Each structure stands twice: as structure tokens, then as C-alpha cells.
């Protein structure tokens, strides 16, 4: 490889590493204050003109590019899971905030009604000469009137105590609703910030990947694609070579699993877009969650929550419709369709496709609707 081409490619990888090193989120739910983008000097022109006749990059150089691209897109996937989680929480908290607002309005109306009733009760005490029932009772000479009056006083006291107690409870409920609404609003703001931070990370990682790919010539991009395909095939062959599926059961998919697989495979060819859940674009967990929604089964929105909340099954026991979770951080998910194959939405720039189930490191398998 010519020194000009090699140095340009090396500089591209180095710059991408420097630009993205601070962009990787610590956890899927991390919501730190946005880190200011590092100020980098504008690239200076080389002191000598690059060798425009230099041969294409070697496979070794392209392998380094492939590994860096895998790292960038993996980090973008982690951030996408964080974005989706924050988005789901935002929707949930917004709905809860609306319900609390309704309760506050209803509580205020109820309190106003109770106050009106209390005022009416107070005014009634001064009817009949302006004396309350207790005073009129003491001035009564008739035993029958005395007993009737005593009964009314007791009833009135009970009614008044009940009214005051109801007013106190309503006031306490209102105060609690207000505190809950304030707490929900703060959570909502925190999730909005987490979502914004995740979005910046996603965009930065994808931009860095695209920048790196843009340094390649057409022929190099084609060879890079072949290298990526070869790496996936090698991983699949190695996985199958372990005998992991040799003793696998041949259990057929359930009726719901079949519907989920049909939905997922019907999306083949549609573009990957981070944060998307159909109908025209998908990210990895958007595809799996919508596929199972199409089978009338609700599952978590993100790959990490799908891993945490759904029933785990052994790889040898997986059947069509089960979800395969990839990487140690559960940052990618696909749906098993049988015969060692899965369907998934891979990453930005790709479309929903079939691939070998073992073409990426498997964390485990989960089963919706179990």
C-alpha cells in the first residue's frame, strides 16, 4: 500500500477515535450533562501532496476499518437503547402526569363543593331566632321537643364532623396529588435530558462511522463489504461447529410465534433507522417488539429490557419467534426463524435482513408470551 493512502487512512481512523472517545454512554440509562464537543483544529494540508497513484488499502487496513466501524455502530446501538428507554419512560410519565392533573382538578371541585355545604350548614344553625340547635334544646320545656331536639343535635354533630373529616381528607389528597405531580414532572424532565444526551451520542457515532467510510474508494468499500460478510460467515460457521444445535429440539413455533415471524420477515428490505418501530423503518428492538405486538403480545421496547424481563430459554431449545440477544450489554436483538437463521434490523445504512443466528456474539435467548 502506498504511503500516501496508508497515512490518510490511518489519520482517518485516529481522528474518528479521538472524536468518539467521549461519546460512549456509561450505561443504557445514563443521563449525564451533555459533554461539550471537543474543539478540534481544522485538518491541515499535508506538507507533501498525497500519492494519488497509491494502490488501494490492504485487507489488513480494511480489517482495522471494519473493527472500528463495528465498534462505532455498537456504541450507537447502546445509545439507541438508552434513547428508546427514555422515550418509553417519557410516554409513561406523561400519561401519569395527565391522570394526576385530572385528579387535582376533580379534587378542587370536590373541595369547593364541600366548602359550600359547610357554609350552608353553618348558616342553618342561625335559623329560628339565630340560636343554634344546642341553645334551643336547653330552652325547651316540652319533654317531646327536648328528645327530638337532642336527636337533631346528635345528627347535626355527626354530619358536621363527617363533613369536616371529608374536607380534611380531600385537602390531604390534593396536597399528595400535587407532590406526586411535581415528582413526575421532575422525572419527565430528567428523561427528556437523558433522551437528548442519547440522541447526541447516536448522531455522533453514526457521523463518525460515515466519515470513516467516506475515506474509502468504491473498490475499497466493496472489499470492505466482502470482509464484513466473511467475518459474519466465519462466526456462524464457528458457532455451528460447536455443535450447539446438534441436539436442538425441533419444536415448532406456537401460533403467536408464527405470526410474529411472519410479521418480521415481511419487513425484510425496509431500512434501519434508530428509534423507529415501523411501519416503514425499524431499529432492532423496534422490529421485534412490533412483530410480537402483531401477534397480540406486548413485550418491552428495548433489547435490554427484553433480556431482563422475558423468560430465558436454552439456545438448544429455541424455536421460531424466540428472540436472540447479542453482546454482553444486550445491545442488539434479533428473531429466530429456524434452521440456525434469524431476521433482524442490523444497523444504520442497512435494511432488515436474514442472517446466521451465530454471526454475532450471543448473550442468550428469551421467549415472549411464555
Catalytic (active-site) positions: 284, 332, 344
- What is the distance between the alpha carbons of residues 69 and 71, in angstroms, rounded to a whole number? 5
Q: Cell numbers of 29, please?
A: 440509562
What 8-state DSSP symbol labels residue 18? H
Q: Cell numbers of 220, please?
A: 475499497
- What is the distance between the alpha carbons of residues 349 and 62, in angstroms, rounded to a whole number? 18
Where does residue 85 rank: exposed (0-12), middle (13-18), buried (19+ CB within 10 A)? buried
**Which is nearest to 96 in space by CA: 173, 185, 174?**
185
Counting DSSP H helices and E strands in the chain, the numbers are 8, 6
Q: Which residues are CB-neighbours of 130 under 8 A, at least 6 positions away?
A: none
Helix, strand, or coil here: 77? helix
Dihedral Cα 188, 193, 197, 199, nearest 10 deg: 50
- What is the distance between the alpha carbons of residues 163 and 178, in angstroms, rounded to a whole number? 23
Q: Are 274 and 283 a contacting pair, CB within 8 Å? A: yes
Sheet holding 323-326, edge to edge: 311-313, 362-367, 323-326, 332-338, 341-344, 353-356
Q: Which residues are CB-neighbours of 134 under 8 A, at least 6 positions away?
A: 153
What 8-state DSSP symbol labels residue 317? G
Radius of gyration of the chain (CA): 33
- What is the distance between the alpha carbons of residues 30 and 25, in angstroms, rounded to a whole number? 6
Q: Cell numbers of 85, please?
A: 428507554
Amino acid at each position: 500500500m502506498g504511503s500516501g493512502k496508508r497515512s490518510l487512512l490511518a489519520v482517518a481512523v485516529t481522528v474518528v477515535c479521538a472524536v468518539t472517545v467521549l461519546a460512549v454512554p456509561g450505561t443504557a440509562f445514563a443521563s449525564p450533562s451533555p459533554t461539550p464537543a471537543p474543539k478540534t483544529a481544522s485538518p491541515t494540508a499535508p506538507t507533501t501532496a498525497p500519492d494519488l497513484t497509491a494502490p488501494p488499502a490492504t485487507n489488513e487496513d480494511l480489517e482495522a476499518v471494519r473493527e472500528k466501524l463495528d465498534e462505532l455502530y455498537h456504541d450507537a446501538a447502546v445509545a439507541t437503547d438508552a434513547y428508546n428507554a427514555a422515550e418509553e419512560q417519557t410516554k409513561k410519565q406523561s400519561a401519569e402526569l395527565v391522570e394526576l392533573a385530572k385528579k387535582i382538578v376533580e379534587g378542587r371541585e370536590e373541595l369547593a363543593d364541600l366548602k359550600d355545604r359547610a357554609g350552608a350548614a353553618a348558616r342553618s344553625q342561625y335559623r329560628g331566632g339565630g340560636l343554634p340547635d344546642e341553645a334551643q334544646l336547653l330552652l325547651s320545656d316540652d319533654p317531646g321537643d327536648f328528645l327530638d331536639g337532642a336527636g337533631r343535635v346528635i345528627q347535626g354533630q355527626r354530619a358536621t364532623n363527617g363533613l369536616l373529616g371529608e374536607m380534611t381528607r380531600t385537602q390531604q389528597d390534593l396536597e399528595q396529588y400535587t407532590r406526586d405531580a411535581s415528582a413526575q414532572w421532575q422525572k419527565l424532565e430528567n428523561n427528556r435530558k437523558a433522551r437528548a444526551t442519547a440522541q447526541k451520542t447516536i448522531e455522533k457515532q453514526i457521523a463518525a462511522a460515515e466519515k470513516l467510510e467516506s475515506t474509502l474508494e468504491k473498490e475499497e468499500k466493496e472489499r470492505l463489504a466482502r470482509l464484513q460478510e466473511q467475518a459474519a460467515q466465519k462466526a456462524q460457521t464457528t458457532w455451528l461447529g460447536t455443535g450447539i444445535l446438534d441436539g436442538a429440539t425441533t419444536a415448532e413455533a406456537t401460533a403467536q410465534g408464527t405470526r410474529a415471524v411472519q410479521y418480521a420477515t415481511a419487513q425484510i428490505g425496509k431500512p434501519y433507522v434508530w428509534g423507529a418501530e415501523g411501519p416503514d423503518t425499524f431499529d432492532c428492538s423496534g422490529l421485534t417488539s412490533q412483530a410480537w405486538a402483531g401477534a397480540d403480545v406486548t413485550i418491552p421496547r428495548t433489547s435490554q429490557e427484553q433480556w431482563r424481563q422475558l423468560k430465558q430459554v436454552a439456545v438448544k431449545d429455541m424455536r421460531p419467534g424466540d428472540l436472540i440477544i447479542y453482546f454482553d450489554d444486550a445491545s442488539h436483538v434479533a428473531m429466530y426463524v429456524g434452521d440456525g437463521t434469524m431476521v433482524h434490523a442490523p444497523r444504520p445504512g442497512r435494511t432488515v435482513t436474514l442472517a446466521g443466528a451465530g454471526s454475532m456474539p450471543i448473550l442468550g435467548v428469551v421467549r415472549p408470551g411464555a
